[in-house]
Amino acid sequence: MLKNISKYLTGDLLKILCDMGHGDELVIADANFPAETMGQRVIRCPGMDGSQFLEAILPLFPLDTYTEQPAVVMDLTDGDKAKGMPEPAVWDIYRKLLERAGERADFERMERYAFYERAKKACVVVQTGEERQYGNLLLVKGVV
């Protein structure tokens, strides 16, 4: 055990976060995300939801300040928009966590299949046990 580091962050995960460089991308994936077909490297963290994982990494993981939008969510599908689905509540939680950490709290919204294509190029996909719809969040790593 280490002091002041979340119990959610395993040694393997800490190594990956440390080895990531400026501009590398990390996907916090929900439980329904097709991680095995999308991720070059997949780490499973089924015992936590996406917001718990985000809160655990934010003290260690700087977001890119040179990228227009260093945080990206998968946008609602046209069908869900047509049904009048409101913005997912998990997005507001993500915004509050980012803001509390001193990071930009706005997101780029990316169409589902475009998000999948971008996720395929990410350094790591961390599949959480997040069950809330649209709980996927892509982060671009910055510099210390």
Question: Hey, which residues are catalytic here?
Answer: 22, 64, 116
Could you tell me how many residues make up the chain?
144
User: With contact defined as beta carbons under 8 Å apart, do 96 and 33 qualify?
Assistant: no
* Other beta carbons less than 10 A from residue 51's beta carbon: 19
Q: What angle do CA 67, 73, 76 make, to 5 degrees?
A: 140
C-alpha span between 140 and 24 (Å, rounded): 6
118 SS3 class: helix
* Continuous H helices in the chain: 11-19, 35-38, 50-57, 78-82, 89-100, 112-120
